[in-house]
Amino acid sequence: MSFSEDKARMTEYMRKRPLDEWEDEAAVEEFFCFLDQLKEQAKEDSSYYSILSDACLKAGNPVKAKEAFARGYNPKNKKDLKKFLSFDSWKEKPVTRPSERAGELPGFSYAAGKLLKNKFVRKKDGICCICKKEQTALYVGAAFDASEQISFLNREDQFCADCIRNGAAADQFGITFNNPYLKDITAVDSDKKEELLKKTPECSLAFDFNEDLWPCCCGDFCRYEEYDGTYEETFTFRCRHCKKETVWTKMT
């Protein structure tokens, strides 16, 4: 394809819903193949860095998007400068390539494994920085250092799901994985708070629009079981004890 055709294709991708809401994994994989193609073309033609930057944004990786855009933007151009500064506030969620997603994950009490698929990447040379397990899926999701949100997407010190589940990752980095304000909920015991905060991959940012932070029932946090973004964002939870269902809806 020509540069203009690739640019038009990327424009169509940008107009679509966020990548993490696509149900067709083949289409997501096709997008990542296009991103790989852009990387190669940018090596030969620097004008492709502008398209590559948009592709990285669509994949939820503003750091790589900013790096690509920096290869060709004009800091004296106000439009370019405005876009360059906008990368730091990009909010779309990181999306893991389907062919690199983790297979089986250890069981987490408060989140279904299928909702965590974008938070781990399986790499041939992946080594957990804590337990040193090789060729394992590594965490690329978010966490909280005190009240500040951090991302492990582009970091070298990534760790595996087992080290989240047993609390080793939280202890080593001094972090929590879900909203630190959950510790203030008085209806739940401290051991259950610790499991959600320190032993469960980050989920709370998906529904931080709700001031209740996380639904509770029977003296425990409910299990986050379903997400549907077809018409409006819908989050389904189920009590781990009485099995009562709770549904939160966020208008899009």
Q: Which residue has the tokens 């974008």?
A: 118
pLDDT the model gives residue 105? 84
pLDDT at 225: 95
SS3 string, 64-121, reads HHHHHHHCCCCCCCHHHHHHHHHHHHCCCCCCCCHHHECCCCCCCCCECHHHHHHHEE
Q: CA 126, 132, 137: angle at the middle one, nearest 5?
A: 35
Q: What six digits make up the tokens of 233?
A: 């964002």
As given in the structure block, the two tokens for residue 119 are 């938070």
What average pLDDT does the chain have? 91
Angle at 110 between CA 105 and CA 114, to 5 degrees: 40
Quick: pLDDT tens for 198-234. 999 999 988 888 888 999 999 999 999 999 887 788 9
pLDDT for 93 beyond 80: no
Cα(22)–Cα(8) distance, rounded to whole angstroms? 20
What digits encode the pLDDT tens for the residues 21-44?
A: 888 889 999 999 999 999 999 999
Q: What's the pLDDT at 252?
A: 62
Local confidence band at 81 (pLDDT 50, 70, 90 cut-offs): confident
> Which of the residue ranges 86-90, 104-108, 158-162, 204-208 would you say has the lowest mean pLDDT?
86-90
Decide if pLDDT at 96 tops 80: yes
pLDDT value of position 230 = 77
pTM assigned to the model: 0.74
